[in-house]
Amino acid sequence: MRRGELFLWLPWTFGTLMLSIHVVGAKLFLVYLYGWSKVQHEHLRILSMPKAHPWPVSNGDVISEGQFVHYLISLVCWFAMFFASYPLVRLLLPPARRAVA
């Protein structure tokens, strides 16, 4: 374990999770629902994600079902982002101190 790894692990985990839920997962979920061309042409985005309530979309639609698909998409994106990037970012930390006997 490298020095300060816990201080890197916690914010990196939280940051990649939030990025995968609110940016990547939301955009891919809209692509799943509407298609790539409509999402790009109308600049669609999810306005808010309240729990147990429908999610409003920027074009006036409301997403009332299918949030589990968003969860699955976000989970896969988070696994891919975190486990691909964390080993590389971890290399920036200084090595662990060795006990001098």
Domain extent listing, the chain: 19-88
Q: What is the pLDDT of residues 9-65, one digit of tens each?
A: 999 999 999 999 999 999 999 999 999 999 999 999 999 999 989 999 999 999 999
Predicted pLDDT of residue 98: 79
Residue 37 has which token pair?
A: 């061309």
- The model's confidence at residue 4, banded by pLDDT at 50, 70 and 90, is confident
Detail the DSSP E strand segments found in the chain: 55-56, 62-63
> Does residue 100 carry a pLDDT above 90?
no
* Cβ-contact 21, 73 below 8 angstroms: no
